A = this chain, B = another copy of it.
Amino acid sequence: MLSDIEIANAATLRPITDVARETLGIEPEHLVPYGHHKAKVDLGYLATLEDRPLGKLVLMTAISPTPAGEGKTTTTVGLTDALHGLGHRAVACLREPSMGPVFGMKGGAAGGGYAQVVPMSDINLAFTGDFNAIAAANNLLAALIDNHVHQGNALDIDVRTVTWKRVVDLNDRALRDITVGLGGVANGFPRQDGFDIVVASELMAIFCLTESWADLKKRIGDIVIGYNRSKQPVTARELDAAGAMTVLLRDALAPNLVQTLEGAPAFVHGGPFANIAHGCSSVVATRSALRLADIVVTEAGFGADLGAEKFVDIKCRKSGLRPDAAVVVATVRALKYHGGVAVADLGEEDVAAVERGMENLRRHLRNIREVFGVPVVVAVNRFPADTESEMEKVVDLCAEEGVQAFAATHFADGGDGAISLAKGVLSVLDEPSPHEFGFTYDDDLPLAEKVATVARRLYDAEGVSWDAKAERRLARIEAEGYGHLPVCIAKTQYSFSTDPALRGAPSGHTLHVREVRLSAGAGFVVVICGDVMTMPGLPKVPASSRIDLLEDGTIVGLS
């Protein structure tokens, strides 16, 4: 089989104006073109659609993944292509890729195989400039903070408490922990600082949760950058930063429209981390898509314990959006992994291990149906090594849970490989839901109780323990009036527990909270359990070393 970029480079793309008109009924004058195959949809036009009925919203989530990933993005694209092929007005809503992994190890994030969004290299490299706009606005605020201190510090900012970091959209470990302002009086006051990758920034989360320019400016103003010497929060508003930062994000807020390899429309917009942020593409894109299409397929990061939880408890809570169905992506590989098989042996048939590993998937299904109240189907994303017996076992085990499961081969076959999955999703959408949608916890629970509720209801943890410092920080955040916010739990994606080695469906464990951070502009409190990497590093042989430009302008080596 060809590589992702070979497939993408060989594709004949249609003008995005044609795709927009024919698939979503958007006339060219409502598009802001970026070249011939990417466009932003004008926000003024989208505002005129507010009276249209909403389409159905399908959430793509997953089993607790193996390190290789189980294929949520490809399944989102494949399902959308299948629905498109069946004549439905369907659209995918995806996150924008970060350039960090593109040049590092993991590669791009525009799908893969025959389930990709295109133009693949554009989408993976700077795209329409959204991440650069976010980085510029983020770094302008950082510069304004240090400048404010340098110029007299009228707000009496305590530089030891500044938590607002600078960002760059690359993997660059040397920037994790730095000292700035060295070199004498002209260069400001020295302080410890660091860079995060842009997708880990609070501004990225804000961007993805906001509804409008006015709301964006309000949220940016609410950002707490640190504290003054009287221990009061200092906001971006007090630094007169919100207006200019919003101006920098003005054009970026319009959602980006591209096409799949099969000509279905896709919004690719925003891309926050799924650990210290909520891991979903933008509310603007989802909401716009729901006004334009009958079925919207959107993915949330990591496994369902993290991604679906944050989709429901953060994105849906704040936006009023509601999923009509969820698809859980599972693989035979992941099931065997949770059934105890070593990574090196995952290519060997092991039906018993699949059966053992089902306990992981079973808990995700329970959470989605019983906690979130969302109807669910399983997509078994088929890999070449998977055997018939293994595939059948997954389908049978799901049936025992009363859940339909469908083998999907979209990676190799495009939309045709996801036709039965699509029909399954349609059948669920047609039926009245047996469940009532609900959040994991209510707004008015104390923050610690919110964490405890998620740990108990979703992770089957026995309890929560707190580092003393984290507990104090939580109390202070509550005292400052942020207790009504939802929590955003950052933990490993590989286990329901905080121990990535604890596969399957562990019970009775303790969720240990190491650190708490306030994201006042995004509107959530980050609860960090375990190590969280907000600035990745490059591997020994970075992917960038294989990427090249041929003399005719062809890009090679992207993955």
Q: Is A150 an interface residue (CB 8 A)?
A: yes
Q: In the complex, A172 Cα to B183 Cα: how many Å? A: 14
**Measured between C-beta atoms, what is the minimum distance from A547 to chain B in Å?**
4
Closest to A240 in B: B545
Residues on B with beta carbons closer than 8 Å to the beta carbon of A544: 140, 144, 240-241, 243-244
Residues on B with beta carbons closer than 8 Å to the beta carbon of A243: 544-549, 557
Interface centre among A170, A213, A246, A558 (most CB of B within 10 A): A170
Q: Is A527 an interface residue (CB 8 A)?
A: no
Contact B126 A133 (CB under 8 A): yes
Q: Is A481 an interface residue (CB 8 A)?
A: no
Q: Is A146 an interface residue (CB 8 A)?
A: yes
Contact A179 B182 (CB under 8 A): yes
Closest to A149 in B: B174
Q: Which of B35, B99, B140, B187 touches A177 (beta carbons < 8 Å)?
A: B187
Interface centre among A126, A217, A544 (most CB of B within 10 A): A544
Q: Is A33 an interface residue (CB 8 A)?
A: yes
Contact A174 B151 (CB under 8 A): no
Contact B144 A542 (CB under 8 A): yes
Contact A173 B144 (CB under 8 A): no
Q: Is A176 an interface residue (CB 8 A)?
A: yes
Contact B174 A180 (CB under 8 A): yes
Closest to A176 in B: B187
**Measured between C-beta atoms, what is the minimum distance from A491 to chain B in Å?**
20
Q: In the complex, A539 Cα to B34 Cα: how many Å? A: 35
Contact A553 B44 (CB under 8 A): yes
Contact B178 A174 (CB under 8 A): no
Q: Is A171 an interface residue (CB 8 A)?
A: yes
Q: Is A10 an interface residue (CB 8 A)?
A: no
**Measured between C-beta atoms, what is the minimum distance from A145 to chain B in Å?**
9
Closest to A145 in B: B174
Copies per assembly:
2
Contact B183 A171 (CB under 8 A): no
Contact A32 B35 (CB under 8 A): yes
Q: In the complex, A56 Cα to B221 Cα: how many Å? A: 51
> In which size bucket is the chain A interface?
35 or more
A32-B36, A35-B33 given as contacts; is B548 within 8 A of A247 (CB)? yes
**Measured between C-beta atoms, what is the minimum distance from A380 to chain B in Å?**
36
Contact B183 A170 (CB under 8 A): no
Q: In the complex, A544 Cα to B136 Cα: how many Å? A: 12
Q: State the main secondary structure of chain A at its contact with B.
A: mixed
**Measured between C-beta atoms, what is the minimum distance from A106 to chain B in Å?**
15
Q: Is A463 an interface residue (CB 8 A)?
A: no
Interface centre among A150, A151, A247 (most CB of B within 10 A): A247
Q: In the complex, A393 Cα to B557 Cα: how many Å? A: 64
Residues on B with beta carbons closer than 8 Å to the beta carbon of A173: 146-147, 150, 181, 186-188
Contact A551 B214 (CB under 8 A): yes
**Measured between C-beta atoms, what is the minimum distance from A234 to chain B in Å?**
15
A205-242 contacts to B (CB < 8 Å): 213-214, 217, 240-241
Residues on B with beta carbons closer than 8 Å to the beta carbon of A136: 99, 126, 132, 169-170
Residues on B with beta carbons closer than 8 Å to the beta carbon of A169: 136
Q: Which of B176, B183, B542, B555 touches A147 (beta carbons < 8 Å)?
A: B542
Q: In the complex, A172 Cα to B181 Cα: how many Å? A: 10
Q: Which of B174, B241, B546 touches A187 (beta carbons < 8 Å)?
A: B174
Contact A179 B178 (CB under 8 A): yes
Closest to A252 in B: B126
Q: In the complex, A36 Cα to B17 Cα: how many Å? A: 13
Q: Is A13 an interface residue (CB 8 A)?
A: no
A60-108 contacts to B (CB < 8 Å): 99, 103
**Measured between C-beta atoms, what is the minimum distance from A47 to chain B in Å?**
11
Contact B213 A549 (CB under 8 A): yes
Closest to A180 in B: B174
Residues on B with beta carbons closer than 8 Å to the beta carbon of A122: 251
Q: In the complex, A250 Cα to B547 Cα: how many Å? A: 12
Q: In the complex, A7 Cα to B504 Cα: how many Å? A: 65
Q: Is A538 an interface residue (CB 8 A)?
A: yes
Residues on B with beta carbons closer than 8 Å to the beta carbon of A178: 178-182
Q: In the complex, A557 Cα to B150 Cα: how many Å? A: 24
**Measured between C-beta atoms, what is the minimum distance from A557 to chain B in Å?**
7
Q: Is A328 an interface residue (CB 8 A)?
A: no
Residues on B with beta carbons closer than 8 Å to the beta carbon of A548: 243-244, 246-247
Q: Is A447 an interface residue (CB 8 A)?
A: no
Contact B126 A146 (CB under 8 A): no
Residues on B with beta carbons closer than 8 Å to the beta carbon of A213: 549, 551, 553
5 pairs of residues in contact across A and B, judged by CB atoms under 8 Å = A132-B132, A136-B169, A139-B170, A188-B537, A243-B557
Known contacts A143-B174, A177-B182; 13 further A-B pairs (Cβ under 8 A): A125-B247, A139-B170, A144-B538, A144-B542, A146-B173, A147-B173, A147-B174, A147-B537, A174-B187, A176-B187, A177-B187, A178-B178, A240-B544
6 nearest CB pairs, A to B: A177-B183, A243-B548, A244-B544, A240-B545, A146-B174, A132-B132
